[in-house]
A and B are shown apart, each in its own frame.
Chain A
Amino acid sequence: MKVRPRIPVLVLASLALLPVARAADGQLTLPDFKELEGKASESVNITLDSSLIALATRFLDAGKPNDAAVRQAIGGVRGIYVRNFTFDTNFAYPKEEVDQVRKQLSLPDWQPLVHVHSQKDHNDVDIYVCIEQGKASGLAIIASEPRQFTIVNIVGSIDLQKLHALEGSFGIPKVSLEDKK
C-alpha cells in the first residue's frame, strides 16, 4: 500500500479545527454522469443547495440527540453534492469523467489533503480542501473503488468532529479521527 499523506495521520481531525468558512466558492462543477448512471447497478445523486439544507434542517428534531448532532455538524454547510455509483463489475466507470473533476481540483484554491492508494484493495481516495483567504470553504472527496465510484463536494465547512459524533447513527460508519492504540 502506498500512502502519500500531505499532513500527518490526524489530518482529518485537523480539518475539523479549521474555522467556519464564509467564502463564496468551494463548489465543483460536477458532470451529469448520465452514461455512468446508465451502467451503474445503484446510483445516488444528491444535490442539496443552501435552501434545501435549510428546509431539511427544519425537519430535524432538535429534541432528538442524533438530529441535533446533524444540525451541529452541518451548521456551516451551504451545499452538499454527492454522486455515488455502484457497479456489478470491476472498474466499469470511465476515467475521463473523473479527470474532468480532478482538473478543477488542480486550481490553486484546492489543496490536496490526503491521497490514499491501496494496491491490495484497489482503492484510491483523495481528499481536497478549498482554502480561501486562509479559511476552508469546501471539501471534496473522490473515492475510486473497484465497483464503486464516489464524489462528495461539501460547500462551506463541515465539522468532522461533529460528524464523528454521528457515527453509528443513520447508517453512518464509525470514522475514527483519533489514532488507534
Chain B
Amino acid sequence: MTIDLEKQLRDALRPAAPPEGFAERIAARIEAVRLRRRRLSPPFVWVPAALAASLVLGFVALHQWELRREQQQGLQARRELIEALRVTGEKLDLAYRGVSDASRPANPDDAGT
C-alpha cells in the first residue's frame, strides 16, 4: 500500500515541460504591468506640484492686479484733486477780480488821496 501511494505521488508530481510560449507570455505580461505603472504614475506625481505652482502664480497675478488697480485709482484721484484745485482757484480768481474792480476808484486821480 505504501508502495502504491509512493508511485501515485511520483506519477502526479512528475516533471512536465511548460507549454510552448509560456515564458514569453509571462515576460510580456510583466512588461505590460511595468509600462502601465509608468504611464499612470507621472500625473499623480505632478498634480500637487502643478497645483502649488498654480496657486503661487494666482497669488502673484492677483497681487499685481491689485497693485495696478490701486495705482490707477491713485492717479485718477490725483488728477481729480488737481482739477478740483484748478476750478477752485479759477472761481476764487473770479471773486477776487470782482472785489478788486469794485474797490478800484472810478477816477484814477482819486487814488491815494
A interface residues with partner B (beta carbon < 8 Å): 1-3, 5, 9, 11-12, 44, 46, 48, 52-53, 55-56, 58-60, 70, 73-74, 80, 82, 84, 114, 116-118, 123, 125, 127, 141, 143, 145, 150, 152, 154, 158, 160, 163, 166-167, 170-177, 179-180
Contacts and interface: CB of A to CB of B under 8 A. Distances in A.
**Main secondary structure on B side of the interface with A:** helix
Nearest to A172: B89
**Main secondary structure on A side of the interface with B:** mixed
A84 B87 contact: yes
B88 A170 contact: no
24 contacts: A9-B99, A11-B99, A12-B95, A44-B83, A46-B80, A46-B84, A48-B80, A52-B77, A56-B74, A82-B83, A116-B94, A116-B99, A125-B91, A127-B95, A141-B88, A163-B92, A166-B89, A171-B82, A171-B86, A173-B93, A175-B89, A175-B96, A176-B96, A180-B100
Contacts of B75: 59
Given A82-B88, A141-B88, A3 B98 contact: yes
Interface residues of B, number: 30
B89 A173 contact: yes
